[in-house]
């Protein structure tokens, strides 16, 4: 119990938040770096994975590729990949830049599978009758994707991004092994100083950060959840809404939700 009390005392010690404090402090700077690594990595991964996931989910092509790719990528040892990338990148760029570039590449590779799986599964899960009704109304394939399938599958798409963000937050700690910052630097310094309070304090920071971010994404999923994903039966109102989509008067998602509330 005293172990946790000491860690909490270290976390709430004001001197650990003062600029110019002993390296690798102050704490807020390390949290900012941790969030920066996560944001950059997930953003790059989303640019790569979302279009591919939308294409596979909409056309039905490449399902086996997604299954094999996501499974294989998740099996990669992140620390080993990080070290290998650091050595390779370090041959072409300065040391300080090599650490950042290698870390971002490793975290992007880690984040892609969850985003890809979420985008693919989300688009594919949209009620096929709704999609067929939209297609029969004269909508193009791009209109169907962006005005029907993506809005209805947002919770699953956000769920994929949520999973990737949490994975990167938890894994970004290892960036300290190649002299990068983030919360991992606090834990590494604690190990070097044999300071158990600092080690546990850093672990608690990572846990708290992950829980806060997870709560934000959970709220976003809840706010974007709509009826129309999965096996709901197609109603006359849904058919009318699909036709109206071509003129921009109403959305399938809104009409479906109204039907569920009646």
DSSP labels, 39-68: HHHHHHHHHHHHHHHHHHHHH-TTHHHHHH
Which residue from 116, 115, 131, 141 is spatially nearest to 63, judged by alpha carbons? 116
CA distance 110 to 167: 8
CA distance 70 to 177: 26
Q: Which pLDDT does position 27 carry in this prediction? A: 92
Which residue from 132, 122, 118 is spatially nearest to 165, judged by alpha carbons? 118
Which residue from 121, 206, 203 is spatially nearest to 166, judged by alpha carbons? 206
CA distance 73 to 107: 11
Distance of CA 186 to the CA centre of its chain: 24
Q: Which pLDDT does position 68 carry in this prediction? A: 79
Low-confidence residues in the chain, pLDDT < 50: 228-262
Instruction: For tokens 């946790």, name the residue.
Output: 4
Domains (range + CATH), the chain = 31-127+138-226 (1.10.3720.10)
Q: Which pLDDT does position 173 carry in this prediction? A: 92
Which residue from 246, 250, 249 is spatially nearest to 143, judged by alpha carbons? 246
Q: Which pLDDT does position 18 carry in this prediction? A: 84
Distance of CA 90 to the CA centre of its chain: 27
* Helix, coil or strand: residue 75: coil
Q: Which pLDDT does position 21 carry in this prediction? A: 61
* Helix, coil or strand: residue 3: helix
Q: What's the token pair of residue 243?
A: 């036709």
Terminal C-alpha separation, the chain = 54
Q: Is 192 exposed, middle or buried (0-12, 13-18, 19+ CB in 10 A)?
A: exposed
Contact yes or no for 202/187 (Cβ under 8 A): yes
Instruction: For tokens 């009758």, name the residue.
Output: 129
- Using N-to-C axis directions, what is the helix angle for 2-11 and 196-224, rounded to 10°? 70
Q: Which pLDDT does position 23 carry in this prediction? A: 66
Q: What is the pTM of this model?
A: 0.81
For residue 21, give the DSSP letter: P
Contact yes or no for 119/162 (Cβ under 8 A): no
What digits encode the pLDDT tens for the residues 44-64? 999 999 999 999 988 888 777
* Helix, coil or strand: residue 191: helix
Side-chain-side CA neighbours of residue 155 (13 Å): 16
């Amino acid at each position: 119990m005293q172990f946790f009390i000491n860690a909490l005392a270290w976390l709430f010690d004001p001197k650990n938040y003062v600029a110019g404090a002993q390296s690798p402090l102050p704490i807020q700077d390390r949290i900012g770096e941790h969030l920066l690594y996560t944001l950059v990595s997930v953003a790059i991964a989303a640019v790569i994975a979302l279009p591919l996931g939308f294409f596979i989910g909409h056309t039905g092509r490449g399902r086996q590729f997604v299954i094999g790719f996501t499974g294989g990528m998740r099996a990669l040892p992140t620390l080993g990949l990080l070290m290998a990338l650091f050595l390779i990148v370090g041959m072409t760029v300065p040391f300080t830049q090599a650490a950042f570039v290698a870390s971002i590449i490793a975290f992007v590779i880690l984040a892609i599978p969850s985003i890809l799986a979420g985008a693919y599964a989300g688009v594919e899960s949209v009620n096929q009758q709704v999609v067929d009704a939209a297609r029969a109304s004269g909508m193009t394939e791009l209109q169907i994707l962006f005005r029907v399938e993506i809005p209805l599958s947002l919770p699953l798409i956000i769920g994929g991004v949520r999973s990737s963000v949490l994975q990167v937050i938890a894994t970004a700690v290892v960036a300290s092994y190649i002299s990068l910052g983030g919360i991992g630097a606090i834990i590494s310094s604690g190990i070097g100083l044999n300071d158990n309070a600092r080690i546990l304090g850093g672990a608690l920071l990572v846990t708290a950060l992950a829980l806060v971010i997870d709560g934000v994404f959970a709220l976003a999923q809840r706010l974007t959840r709509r009826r129309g994903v999965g096996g709901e039966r197609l109603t006359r109102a849904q058919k009318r809404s699909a036709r109206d989509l071509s003129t921009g008067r109403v959305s399938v998602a809104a009409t479906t939700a109204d039907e569920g509330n009646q």
